[in-house]
Structure 1
Amino acid sequence: MKRRHSLAGIAAVAVLLAACGANDKPAGQDGGGTVKQGGTLYLLADSPTQQYDPARSSSLVVTGLQFVHRRLTSWKVAPGQDTTIVPDLATDTGKPSDGGKTWTFTLKDNLKYSDGTPIKSEDVKWGLERSFAPAFSGGLAYHKDLLSPGLTYKGPFEGGQELSSIETPDDKTIIFKLARPYGDWNWVASTPAFAPVPKGKGAEANYGEKPVASGPYQIETFERGKQAVLVRNTNFDPKSDETRPAYPDRVVWQFSQQTNVISKRLIDDSGDDKNAFGVSFASPAQLAQITGNASAKSRLVTSESGALAYLALNTQRGKLTDVNVRKAFQYAVNKSAFQVASAGNAQLAGDIATTLITPGLAGREQFDLYQTKPEGDPGKAKDMLAAAGLPNGLDGLVLATRAENDWPRKAESIQSGLAAAGIKVTIKPLDEETFTAEVQNKDNPDYDLVLTSWQPDIPSANANIQPLFQSTEIGGGGYNTARYNNPEVDRLITEAQATVDQAEAGKKWAELDRKILADSPVVPLIYTRNSYLHGTKVGNVKIGRFPAYADYRQFGIIQ
């Protein structure tokens, strides 16, 4: 499976809280007041666009795509509660058979697109077929190798071929014949590619600028680099949707906003900005302004600990091929310093991480194979390196990281901690495009270490483990940046994915968590916390236990 990282595809980039007394419970939720139908919601983003083509999108259920497109299944998200799967277009969350190789869904009655035409099962199939076309790549792809082993299918536009692994015996029934048993298929059915596209439509490259909507809103105008205006889809039936109350009459995305301008507008809280929500990153300097303003501080909403920040060790390069050398890094890294570098405050950055599976996911077990102090134990790390034949430590290592935002500063905290243990590294900051080309695509990349983070795309430990540690995810755009190749782990991943009983699957994923960490391909750092700033009239700003992002579906304007 090759696909974009969820964090890169989500417009809801975290505002890291510098000082507002947050703990590991969601803080400042709801926004106060009573939300009612009506009004205009403004979403302020530093990104140049929002992707509304479901084949190209990696948007989570709770973020931008959901305004315009529905999917077969969805998530019920609430503060302090585990996220559960619920039906969206389908009447239920899917019926598995044949040991999990076959999944059947039935569409609800009277579903319509924004143009008034009925939504049919063949449209869901067509939308999925579009996602295989090279011209429409880039979105989440958990479904692809299960529907087309070896990715031999190339979409419906060249030769008009159909994907035989999807059957639509009538307008309301869709049957998936998977290549192997897959217990999380109902979760996968909540990813963007499962949004319907009217059969025969969507061949144009700019389909995402004026798609046919199945959700509560349709795009009225779209100007890349400027804004997208969403208005109500009058053919949307709210009674058919339990997750989208669709409070605002209009949603306006304002693109290409400078982050300091976004912060100032939301702090000032005047005019239309009272109805605005900031979806873009703010610097520590801007956060100091926010937390120094009583009104703004009251409008910061904070998640529980969420995404995993980690240091990947290139297991195929130099001395890092030795597991005993890699284990020394578990003690050499100063996680406390990384916390401070991340948010200016250890408490507010997020909890120290010791596992690969992130909080809020079913089956997660808390453990620590490498018990040490938050600041690490450089002396023990030196002893371990000496025992591995490196009495003088390690020199000349390259640490790759992203160049934007605060990643270089966080990399410096890792560099300093490793130096205390006799490990000398040079930081290699890369812009997003170069990072992808160097770290994810090259066969023999020039790095020893990678500093990055990961937010699972679905509420399953599968999405923590498989993309980061299955050998098929090495290179070619994959996210196995540790270049970790363990045939036994590959086998166990496939076995866990095939387990339909979720309690049993959870046990298998927890065992894999321990087994992989015993090989030390990565050093877990922290489970990051996210915070957001909004205007005084934006209500129902909620963040569930998973994901650590605000649920756009619930937003409304306080009347």
Structure 2
Amino acid sequence: MTRRRLAVATAMAGVLALTACGANQAPQGAGQATATRGGTLRILSEGQTVNFDPAKSGSLAITSLGLVHRRLTGWLNKPGEQARVVPDLADAGKTDDGGRTWTFTLQDGLKFSDGTPITSADVKWGVQRSFAPAFSGGLGYHKQLLEGGADYRGPFEGAELAGIETPDAKTIRFRLVRPYGDWPWVVSTPAFAPVPHGKGAEPDYSEHPVASGPYQLAKYQKGVEAKLTRNAHWDQKTDQVRAGYPDEIVFQLGQDASVISQRLSADSGDDKTAFGSSFVSAAQLAQVTGNASAKDRIVTSKSGALAYLALNTEKAPLDNPKVREAFQYAVDKTSFQIASAGNAQLAGDIATTLITEGITGREKFDLFPAPPAGDPEKAKKLLAEAGFPNGLENLDFLVSKTNNAPEKAQALQASLQRAGIKTTIRTLDGDAYTEETSNSPVAKFDLTLASWQPDFPSANANIQPLFASSEIGGGGYNLSRYRDAEVDRLIDEAQATVDPDEAGRKWAAIDKRVLKDSPIVPLIYTRNSFLRGSKVANLYIADFPAYPNYLQVGLSS
């Protein structure tokens, strides 16, 4: 159903942390000065562009897009607490038919940056834009759920989407093809930001969007800068998820990662009011730890994306569950940690579940208890029971050339060989890797490395994209090519559950059910570290997601 941008997901495999420096000893943001209103916040970015078109965006609700555009709902996330959905432009939504129809009511007095009222028709128009082929690329959880969505091609030729009704200026109603309990989370994704009705047909709308959030785009130069200034029509009293502290926010684009780290470590001039949008790498961490001041300005996530080894369940001998189970014991997860960050403590905790930390319903369990370094003898025994007493040979281990993936693969290759599993590592550039792992209807590889963090705080977004049979090929992220009719049924049942606690219990059961089949080997829950200047305040990372909440960051006086 959803089509996650593979480049983003695989990038998560390289995330790191600094727990050895005590960054996780206190709540994130501890030790920082209090944020005050005013000043210019700078965000240093490796990217050449920053996208402010909600139809094309995969931005999390707490990052860059949320500074300019509000959505129907938002996220309230704090360290030590599970993220929860809260009202933003509208209330948190109501359903009276078990989750198939959802109704939202907009707040009074909402305005765009041009002073015109924000209406339900503007929200509908924004959602409809996301269906137009010219504006594809954003998160698409809604596209197959809304009635008429499967065949809809956008509003620019006069067609309306049947599944969205706007009976008055404040009411918007969504009719779905099936019950879906996480719809209040879905309407926090970028496509549910309002776009003035009739506008946004031009391909460069990202460079001059009409804002609904606390900031508007005042200047944009690709590869150089995106400057945000205050939106005079944003009302703090209507917005519980955005603090709106800085007067201006400037994205400095096209910055080299090592230069960003050096600048923030030096902490001079304007860089005192900046933070880096990219993860601090292992090499950069090694340098930062030698600088006492910079070391204290590292902010690290408690947990993060699930890094895992995917086993192609469509190819023999990996179509045999007993063979796949052997991999659970063969893998040395400690060696993967070291290959990821040079230190087991820096990389992230060893993973045994599919659902990541900070998600409602997550249960801790370990179906395949083994030492962190693996149990090669147990793996050999399982292979023998499966009919392979001499082990396995010539397995194709495909990895991307990015994010240190070849080195991580080599660490796993060595541990697999100790269990009698011989692999050949094959590397591909990003586009070619994506084509074979995600787009192709038939996959040639046997094994591949990947990583995943949900797009919204629900176990649904942990499990459905990776293990529903609908996500095989065609841009989906079911890299293990796992097909199980019962699991598909259980996923549909959990998705249709409106009560979050009940849904959480169902997702936890699916977590165990899928792992019994061993389509993947969970490796670690990767951590992210970010570096800030000394005047940046309230830069924290909650339990989910493993990114700073841009909407709460400010400067100290």
TM-score of the superposition, structure 1-length normalised? 0.97
CA distance in 1, matches of 2:11, 2:532: 15
Q: Is the 8 A contact 1:361 1:546 kept in 2?
A: yes
Q: How does 1:60-459 map to 2 (within 5 A)?
A: 60-90=60-90, 92-148=91-147, 151-157=150-156, 159-459=157-457
Helix, strand or coil at the partner of 1:41: strand
Unaligned runs of 5+ in 1: none
Query: Can you give the 5+ residue segments of structure 2 that lack an aligned partner in the other structure?
Result: none
Check conservation: 2:246, 2:555, Cα contact below 8 A.
yes
- Cα distance 1:31–1:12, how it changes in 2: closer, same or farther (>3 A)? farther
Equivalent position amino acid for 1:385 in 2: L
1:495 aligns with: 493
Q: Deviations over 1:183-217 (max 9, x none)?
A: 11001111111001111111111111111111100
**Offset at residue 84 of structure 1 (A):** 1.3
Q: Contact 2:13/2:450 (CA < 8 Å) preserved in 1?
A: no
- Give 1:68 deviation, angstroms: 0.5
Range with greater deviation from structure 2 (226-235 or 166-175): 226-235
Residue 308 of structure 1, CA deviation: 0.6
Deviates more, 1:6-15 or 1:378-387: 6-15
Question: Which of residues 483, 486, 496 is equivalent to 1:485?
Answer: 483
Residue 52 of structure 2 corresponds to 52
Shift of 1:446: 2.4
Q: Which amino acid is 2:405 matched to? A: W
2-structure distance, mates of 1:196, 1:202: 11
Residue-by-residue CA offset, 1:63-115 (whole Å, 9 max, x unaligned): 1111100000011111111111110000x200012111110000001101111
Contact 2:13 2:307 in 1 (8 A): no
Query: Per-residue deviation at 1:517?
Result: 0.5
How far did 1:302 drift? 1.1
Measure the CA separation in 2 of the matches of 1:460 and 1:370: 25
Task: Give the distance between the partners of 2:23 and 2:508, measured in 1 at CA.
Answer: 26
Question: Cα–Cα, structure 1 residues 11 and 273, in superposed 2: closer, same or farther, change >3 Å?
Answer: farther
TM-score, scaled relative to structure 2: 0.97
Matched, 1:531 2:534: no
Which of 541, 550, 553 lines up with 1:552 in the alignment?
550
State the 1:5 CA deviation.
3.5
* Secondary structure at 2:432 match in 1: helix
> Structure 1's 150 and 131: CA in aligned 2 closer, same or farther, altered over 3 A?
closer
- Indicate how the Cα distance of structure 1 residues 10 and 549 shifts in structure 2: closer, same or farther if over 3 A, else same: farther
Contact 1:22 / 1:302 at 8 angstroms: preserved in 2? Answer: no
Q: What's the offset of the Cα at 1:401?
A: 2.1
2:98 is paired with a residue whose SS is helix
| Residues 28 and 160 of structure 1: CA distance in aligned 2, closer, same or farther (over 3 Å) | closer
2-structure distance, mates of 1:242, 1:528 = 30
Deviation, 1:151, is 1.5
Tell me, yes or no, if the aligned pair for 1:134 and 1:154 is still in contact at 8 Å: yes
Letter of the aligned partner of 1:75 in structure 2?
W
Cα pair 2:149 2:163 within 8 Å, conserved: no
Instruction: Please give the alpha-carbon distance, in whole angstroms, between the structure 1 residues aligned to 2:500 and 2:389.
Output: 47
CA distance in 1, matches of 2:28, 2:79: 11
Task: Go from structure 1 to structure 2 and tell me whether the alpha carbon gap of 1:28 and 1:190 turns closer, same or farther (over 3 Å shift).
Answer: closer
Contact preservation (8 Å) 1:259, 1:280: yes
1:456-480 Cα distance to aligned partner (Å, 9 max, x none): 1111100001000000100000000
RMSD: 1.8
Distance 1:491 1:205 in 2: 40
Give yes or no for contact 1:382–1:421 (8 Å, CA) kept in 2: yes
